[in-house]
Chains A and B, each alone.
Chain A
Amino acid sequence: MNEAQAHPITVEVVRNAIVAYADEMANALCKAAYNMMIYEVRDYCCGLIDLQGRMISQNRGGLPIFLADLGIAIEDGVRRWGLDGFAPGDVLIMNHGETCGQHLNNIVIYCPVFHEREIVAFTANRAHWVDIGGARIGFGSSATTEIFAEGIQLRSLKIYEAGKRNETLWQIINDNVRFPEASLGDLRAQIASCQLGARRYGELLARYGRATVEACIARVWDQADLAVRNVVEKIPDGVYSAESFLDNDGRDLEKTLRIKVTVKVSGSTMSIDFSEMNPQTNSPINSGRSGGIAAARVAFKALTSPDLDVNEGCFRSLEVILPEGTLVSARPPAALGLWSIALPTTIDTILKALAPALPDAIPAAHKGDMGGCSFYGVNAESQRFLLMNIFGGGWGGRPHEDGEDASVSVCQGDVRNSPVELQEIRYPFLVENHKLRENSGGVGKYRGGLGVELTYKTLVPCQVNINFERTKLPPWGLHGGGDGGANYAIIHFANGAESKRVLKGTQIPLQAGDRVAFFTAGGGGYGDPNERTPEAIETDLREGFVSTPDAAQ
């Protein structure tokens, strides 16, 4: 790259523009989307990708675990079609499990960008479809053992070829998913979003020329890299390890799954080693390599550059050591339906490893799971319904203040819970309460945040998936702080049968009048509880965050 082309002023113009384009793509996608996983959960990302699959820019406010990982989908397409195999007006669709490493609901759409008749980049987005066919409705089943039961796979296929829709492929998708109106609506929104991004990037290239724009992008990456290195340099060199575990794989409920990471800091670089992670399982709680990379990158970004926009440069000084065949780097034909379940705990474990080195930068553990539920059945108008909701929980106490209450996991960012009024308008349920879970925050000088209690009463017969994790290993405290209250759910039966505590279950049948109460975890405490100030204890008691003086200390 020619340094002269990257004038500092032009660099700033390009830096702002490329992120604004990705944000514009996200706006177009989110506003027109048909399913709550996109418009509420923001389970999507949008970005510009260069010809080598590197992330030029990514939208702000999407799902944190989608960190600069759209490139692998595009690399696959480039391998299959060749760079000269793309034409203006092409739109590709991709969710191949082995390549993308995520559940098949995550559909990538991408478009080539042309400038002066040459292919110069791609615009891409990934969005979570409500259903992708397969043996079980929606997602979140723990019953599958291989990817083929989890839905239809589409590998770098042209859904539009030079502007013409591939009707065969469209029909195949239409006939193989459970809610085609929603999925095809989302598909339309995804395509429009990519085309918008391609137009915008084309305008930028027309203005400054390709060489200048690319030189500026390289400079933006270099600056991000330098900013990150400056932070890593301040972490004391050393080898730091930590270990935790997940409850089980959802099939064998007795056997826990090992999460073990080793972090090595040396000068301005960091490596995160997953060699000792649990091997992949015979259940859908696996992810491909993208899972391990996402966990490492989220932890790394939170520590080094939480405020910087996401691009390739943010991760240049991070090495991820990820042998094949672990829980977060599964080989085919592993099932991937619950690909993200292990990630919050993996991220917390990386942070825990570094806690002794960075006592002022790392909070105690947070609720530690993705926290959601899904109910499905047929309503009084004989229509199939699928109710999904995401719950927050407590975050860990921090070096100078209590943890936040009722917030979504470290893997979820601007993800919103569903309003009770909206759920009752749409679905045959009565929500009986939605409240903070008192006494769930771990004790400490700075208390863990509180979890949430939410109770559904179903008005029709239906089924529920429950996927609570970390019930055996509650969110841990740090530096003397106590554990937070663990996740659990209770089902109360209308027929008078004994209530049942459930941690994981797929397609649990419910009758009208049955109630399911969800209790989400509180955060771990930070520091010696004896050092908690009397004022803080008094507030906890007055406000009812803690119900007895014993619990407060």
Chain B
Amino acid sequence: MNMVGVDIGGTFTDLVGVIDGKIVSSKTSTTPSDPSEGVAHSLQLAHCDLPGLGELLHGSTIAINTVLERKGAKTALVTTKGFRDVYAIGRGNRIEAFNLFFHRPKPLVARHLTFEADERLDPNGRALKALENAEVELLVKDVLASGVDSVAVCFLHSYANPAHERLIGDALRRAAPHLFVTLSHEILREFREYERTSTTVLNAYVGPRVRDYLSNLETWLRGEKFVGKMHLMRSNGGVMSALQARAQPVSMMESGPVAGMIAAGILCKQLGIDMAIGFDMGGTTAKSSLIMHGAPAVEEGYVIGPMASGQPMQLPVVDIVEVGTGGGSIAWVDATGGLHVGPQSAGADPGPACYGKGSNTPVITDADLVLGRINPKRFLNGGMSLDIEASRAAIKAKVGDPLKLSIEEAAIGIAAISDTAMSLSVRAVSVNKGVDPRETTMIAFGGAGPLHAVAIAREIFIPRVIIPKLPGAFSALGMLMASWRQDFVRTLVGRLGRLDHATVENIFRELAADAEAQLRLDGIPRASAKLIFNADLRYVGQEHALQIPVSDASMLTGDVSKVRELFHVEHDQRYGQAAAEEAMEIVNVRLVLTAPRADTVAERSMAQAWTPTDEAAETSRKVIFNDPLKPLDARILWRPALPAGFAFTGPAVVEEPNSTILIHPGDKVRVTEAGHLVIDVAFGGAQS
């Protein structure tokens, strides 16, 4: 089947497709006013014709940008009486502890558009105060009179019993079919009212805009005779139908960045790598993610926007740790002589000093150029020539002179500081899950990832680095490999060993029924779907829970020794201790519903035998690694010309159309049968 993935980012629209078994790709500027224009243009560039496509995968920043720019719908919120301000109060915390001028999250719904319903449930879902029809009618009238385009409904304890939310939801949908209605239990059936309210409001806030965007795109696609399926990339690392995206747009917040980690996971599976760290470095940030058993870790929730003042979103999201270090990150010296890199970025315009657009602010790319690590003539496949003298001047003026360092020393400093920042972030990804980086392999991609990967691996003793094929377009490639996925959750609090079997059994049954309904809605055969149940468990008294896979209800209600054992092991691995004798409790039951891709052509292409696509003679040039006074003669290789089985030892630079790979002295490199580069890192090498 022919398919393409189109990732619309803030600056570029990336396309990767598999057409008649061959990989195609293109990169164009994003057209913010009409994204479908960008889709059309990138399809043209890659010579794909829409009628021949079986599937179009799409990743977009529309949802997250709507929130960050606060350009969402006029939204109302309906809450339980007495709890109108739960959303405004939040958790009361101040993350910037010493900042007297701190800002907490600013609600997306005005207080005068927050309505209270006279109803109340207890934690078991029993109605302490039933929601009367008269009250529903009154509320619907008030909401409609307020002139909103979207409504979020979140009642206390609705995770335990959604009946009241349904009453008001049905009435609103009946009364105003155009209104975008989001009920909290349809998004997230999990306790903690503030986080659930915030997630529900986010969905309501972005809903109308995403709905319109998808409608326009679909209309255009139909006009172009596209008859295949369209899927949207979502934060949990899976894809969903456009139908589902309309109902749950909040789940596409991190649509773009997660796909590269999915591809890295699949590569790990193909290569039999059990523990890896995916590392993606682009222009403004570096992202890393722990990949265990062929899949990146997925966390429940994160914050959209700045940590201290962003909006909490409690749906599953691929656990990506981001640090403000990218090729365009600015190097600067503070008043006390401390040298820093990032988080400010020069962006694409004016960009690095070496772009020759008049900037005299040094960035990481300038340092890489001065050190001889980047080829000024082959940047962006030769599409842009770089001005090394501009880089030297900027580094001298802004870093070298203030710190009394030579230009080369300063450039090494910039590279070293950014490598340290990234390596700490990469390490946090592993050690916070109790994994020793020395037992992992790094999969590096993104425009700048392969240039810095080995230096980071050296810092934290990762013994092997793999640079996959197509590292510069790896994220778009990942979309073509992502499974269809939907997550479900039910709160169930109780002591392990004392749980009522019928209650637990019922929750498993309900979750399975929800799964089947979702499959029917998206036309996915039940037989191809996979259901994985997880239980959030903890020692009694703890707050933070760990997810433990459970096959069925009896694992939680019958002989619980198996699940206890699994928990002890996980706890010991993460926190360095376990308490074998202690009582344990369950908090939530989760269900991950996935359906694999019908066509694995993209995966197969990654494993396909590699043959060189180009010829180029090997050259050499001086590259500075650790000693500014002793540049080393490095082999300069053109990746498209390297045959499978080719092996060499660093120092070397491997160049390819959209990326550059730096091989440090003593590192041993081999091109695999499939064309990936495997680098065995030489610790304590010649100059380290």
**Are A421 and B123 touching (Cβ within 8 A)?**
yes
Give Cα A317 to B457, complex, Å: 40
**Are A417 and B339 touching (Cβ within 8 A)?**
no
Say yes or no: is B396 at the interface (Cβ < 8 Å to chain A).
Answer: no
- Asked if A12 meets B339 with Cβ closer than 8 Å, knowing A64-B98, A433-B82, the reply is yes
Give Cα A179 to B98, complex, Å: 33
**Are B339 and A435 touching (Cβ within 8 A)?**
no
Q: Mark A121-137, 1 if CB is under 8 A from B, else 0.
A: 00000000000000000
Within 8 A of B (CB), among A442-472: 452, 455
Residues of chain B lying within 8 A (CB to CB) of residue A79: none
Say yes or no: is A230 at the interface (Cβ < 8 Å to chain B).
Answer: yes
**Are A64 and B97 touching (Cβ within 8 A)?**
yes
Within 8 A of B (CB), among A398-440: 398, 404-408, 410, 412-417, 419-422, 424-426, 430, 432-436
Residues of chain A lying within 8 A (CB to CB) of residue B83: 420, 433-435
Residues of chain B lying within 8 A (CB to CB) of residue A404: 102-104
Residues of chain A lying within 8 A (CB to CB) of residue B337: 8, 223, 226
Give Cα A418 to B309, complex, Å: 19
**Are B405 and A8 touching (Cβ within 8 A)?**
yes
Residues of chain A lying within 8 A (CB to CB) of residue B338: 8, 11-12, 15, 223
**Are A398 and B92 touching (Cβ within 8 A)?**
no
Q: Select which of B95, B100, B403 is within 8 A of A414 by beta carbon.
A: B95
Say yes or no: is A302 at the interface (Cβ < 8 Å to chain B).
Answer: yes
Say yes or no: is A32 at the interface (Cβ < 8 Å to chain B).
Answer: yes
Within 8 A of A (CB), among B574-595: 574-577, 579, 582-583
**Are B334 and A227 touching (Cβ within 8 A)?**
yes
Say yes or no: is B544 at the interface (Cβ < 8 Å to chain A).
Answer: yes
Say yes or no: is B519 at the interface (Cβ < 8 Å to chain A).
Answer: no
**Are A435 and B91 touching (Cβ within 8 A)?**
no
- Asked if A8 meets B413 with Cβ closer than 8 Å, knowing A34-B539, A39-B543, the reply is yes
**Are B99 and A436 touching (Cβ within 8 A)?**
no
> How far does the Cβ of A78 sit from chain B's closest Cβ, in whole Å?
26
Residues of chain B lying within 8 A (CB to CB) of residue A391: 92
**Are B94 and A28 touching (Cβ within 8 A)?**
no
- Asked if A417 meets B417 with Cβ closer than 8 Å, knowing A8-B337, A33-B543, A192-B576, the reply is no
Say yes or no: is A16 at the interface (Cβ < 8 Å to chain B).
Answer: yes
**Are B95 and A34 touching (Cβ within 8 A)?**
no
Q: Select which of A224, A417, A436 is within 8 A of B85 by beta carbon.
A: A436
Residues of chain B lying within 8 A (CB to CB) of residue A407: 92-94, 102, 104
Give Cα A61 to B99, complex, Å: 12
Give Cα A185 to B403, complex, Å: 49
Q: Select which of B194, B335, B539 is within 8 A of A227 by beta carbon.
A: B335
Interface size class of B (residues with CB under 8 A): 35 or more
> How far does the Cβ of A382 sit from chain B's closest Cβ, in whole Å?
14
Residue in chain A with minimal CB distance to B128: A430
Q: Mark A222-261, 1 if CB is under 8 A from B, else 0.
A: 1110110010000000000000000000000000000000
Say yes or no: is A9 at the interface (Cβ < 8 Å to chain B).
Answer: yes
Q: Mark B517-557, 1 if CB is under 8 A from A, else 0.
A: 00000000000000000000001111110000000000000
**Are A419 and B191 touching (Cβ within 8 A)?**
yes
**Are B97 and A189 touching (Cβ within 8 A)?**
no
Stretch in B227-235, B420-428, B477-485 with 4+ CB within 8 Å of A? B420-428
Say yes or no: is B493 at the interface (Cβ < 8 Å to chain A).
Answer: yes
**Are B100 and A362 touching (Cβ within 8 A)?**
yes
Q: Select which of A15, A419, A425, A432 is within 8 A of B82 by beta carbon.
A: A432
> How far does the Cβ of A486 sit from chain B's closest Cβ, in whole Å?
19
Residue in chain A with minimal CB distance to B101: A398
Residue in chain A with minimal CB distance to B418: A12
The CB with the most chain A CB atoms within 10 A, among B85, B110, B334, B427, is that of B85
Residue in chain A with minimal CB distance to B102: A404
Give Cα A24 to B579, complex, Å: 21
Q: Select which of B100, B336, B576 is within 8 A of A302 by beta carbon.
A: B100
Give Cα A455 to B655, complex, Å: 66
> How far does the Cβ of B176 sit from chain A's closest Cβ, in whole Å?
23
Give Cα A31 to B128, complex, Å: 34
- Asked if A31 meets B575 with Cβ closer than 8 Å, knowing A407-B92, A416-B92, A416-B93, the reply is yes
> How far does the Cβ of B656 sit from chain A's closest Cβ, in whole Å?
29
- Asked if A185 meets B89 with Cβ closer than 8 Å, knowing A9-B417, A421-B193, the reply is no
**Are A181 and B95 touching (Cβ within 8 A)?**
no
Residue in chain B with minimal CB distance to A32: B575
> How far does the Cβ of B299 sit from chain A's closest Cβ, in whole Å?
12
Q: Select which of A32, A227, A436 is within 8 A of B336 by beta carbon.
A: A227
Residues of chain B lying within 8 A (CB to CB) of residue A455: 82
**Are B416 and A9 touching (Cβ within 8 A)?**
yes
Say yes or no: is B412 at the interface (Cβ < 8 Å to chain A).
Answer: yes
Q: Mark B603-631, 1 if CB is under 8 A from A, else 0.
A: 00000000000000000000000000000
Residue in chain A with minimal CB distance to B494: A425
Query: In the complex, how many residues of chain A place their beta carbon closer than 8 angstroms to a beta carbon of chain B?
Result: 85
Residues of chain A lying within 8 A (CB to CB) of residue B427: 20
- Asked if A189 meets B89 with Cβ closer than 8 Å, knowing A16-B420, A226-B336, A544-B111, the reply is no
Within 8 A of A (CB), among B62-93: 82-86, 88-93
**Are A17 and B94 touching (Cβ within 8 A)?**
no
Say yes or no: is A195 at the interface (Cβ < 8 Å to chain B).
Answer: yes
Say yes or no: is B96 at the interface (Cβ < 8 Å to chain A).
Answer: yes
**Are B99 and A9 touching (Cβ within 8 A)?**
no
Residue in chain A with minimal CB distance to B399: A8
Residues of chain B lying within 8 A (CB to CB) of residue A192: 575-577
Say yes or no: is A157 at the interface (Cβ < 8 Å to chain B).
Answer: no
Say yes or no: is A494 at the interface (Cβ < 8 Å to chain B).
Answer: no
> How far does the Cβ of A285 sit from chain B's closest Cβ, in whole Å?
24
> How far does the Cβ of B415 sit from chain A's closest Cβ, in whole Å?
9
Residues of chain B lying within 8 A (CB to CB) of residue A419: 191-195
Give Cα A33 to B575, complex, Å: 10
Residues of chain A lying within 8 A (CB to CB) of residue B194: 419
**Are B575 and A16 touching (Cβ within 8 A)?**
no
**Are B85 and A189 touching (Cβ within 8 A)?**
no
Give Cα A8 to B420, complex, Å: 13
Q: Select which of A185, A302, A422, A433 is within 8 A of B542 by beta carbon.
A: A185
Residue in chain A with minimal CB distance to B431: A24
Give Cα A422 to B157, complex, Å: 10
Residues of chain A lying within 8 A (CB to CB) of residue B86: 420, 434
- Asked if A543 meets B112 with Cβ closer than 8 Å, knowing A223-B336, A425-B191, the reply is yes
**Are B95 and A435 touching (Cβ within 8 A)?**
no
Give Cα A16 to B110, complex, Å: 41
Give Cα A327 to B84, complex, Å: 40
Residues of chain B lying within 8 A (CB to CB) of residue A528: none
Say yes or no: is A532 at the interface (Cβ < 8 Å to chain B).
Answer: no
- Asked if A61 meets B89 with Cβ closer than 8 Å, knowing A192-B575, A227-B335, A435-B84, the reply is no
Residue in chain A with minimal CB distance to B192: A419
> How far does the Cβ of A414 sit from chain B's closest Cβ, in whole Å?
5
**Are B89 and A452 touching (Cβ within 8 A)?**
yes
8 interchain pairs (CB within 8 A)? Answer: A9-B416, A31-B575, A39-B543, A192-B577, A223-B336, A302-B100, A425-B123, A432-B82
> B residues near A, CB below 8 A?
82-86, 88-104, 110-112, 122-123, 128, 156-157, 159, 191-195, 334-340, 403, 405, 412-413, 416-417, 420-421, 424, 427-428, 431-432, 493, 539-544, 571, 574-577, 579, 582-583
Closest 3 CB pairs of A and B: A413-B97, A392-B92, A433-B82
Given A20-B428, A31-B574, A32-B544; 14 other pairs, CB 8 A cutoff: A8-B337, A13-B420, A39-B542, A181-B583, A230-B336, A302-B100, A306-B96, A363-B101, A390-B92, A407-B104, A432-B82, A434-B83, A435-B84, A452-B92
